């Protein structure tokens, strides 16, 4: 699986938007971009995924660069409950396991 690079940590104020970046310059044409998050003392949970087009769901939005070498997870209004480690992962149609990097630790300030 291709590698991803994320900042180690980010901070946001409550009720403000948060943009979490992910670089994946070696992405291949068949790689899906997945985001998961892990709240304190819980297992990771799925957030969103996409291939080429931007995606929206009830949790977040995923903005994918035109060349697909980077993407951004957007939380439109951060809440204290969004404080977590966010993982950006690439997944192709042939890969057998999901490789989790260190992720970005998001702190949300009241």
Partner 1 sequence: GAGVSQSPSNKVTEKGKDVELRCDPISGHTALYWYRQSLGQGLEFLIYFQGNSAPDKSGLPSDRFSAERTGGSVSTLTIQRTQQEDSAVYLCASSLGTGMSGANVLTFGAGSRLTVL
Q: Which residues bind partner 1 (CB under 8 A)?
A: 30-32, 34, 36, 42-46, 49, 51, 87, 91-103
- Least gap, CB of 70 to partner 1 (angstroms): 18
Going by C-alpha positions, the residue among 25, 20, 10, 80 that lies closest to residue 48 is: 20
| Distance of closest approach, residue 90 Cβ to partner 1, in angstroms | 8
Distance CA 59, CA 55 (A): 11
Nearest distance from C-beta of residue 5 to partner 1, angstroms: 14
> Whose Cβ is closer to partner 1: residue 18's or residue 48's?
48
- In DSSP terms, which residues pair with 32 in a beta bridge? 91
Write down the residue that tokens 């304190």 correspond to: 40
């Amino acid at each position: 699986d291709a590698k991803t690079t994320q900042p180690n940590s980010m901070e946001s104020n409550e009720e403000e938007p948060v943009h979490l970046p992910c670089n994946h310059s070696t992405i291949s044409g068949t790689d899906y971009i997945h985001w998961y998050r892990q709240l304190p003392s819980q297992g990771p949970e799925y957030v969103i995924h996409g291939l080429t087009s931007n995606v929206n769901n009830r949790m977040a939005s995923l903005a994918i660069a035109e060349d697909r070498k980077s993407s951004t997870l957007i939380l439109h209004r951060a809440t204290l409950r969004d404080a977590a480690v966010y993982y950006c992962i690439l997944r192709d149609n042939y890969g057998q396991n999901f490789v989790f990097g260190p992720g970005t630790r998001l702190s949300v300030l009241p």
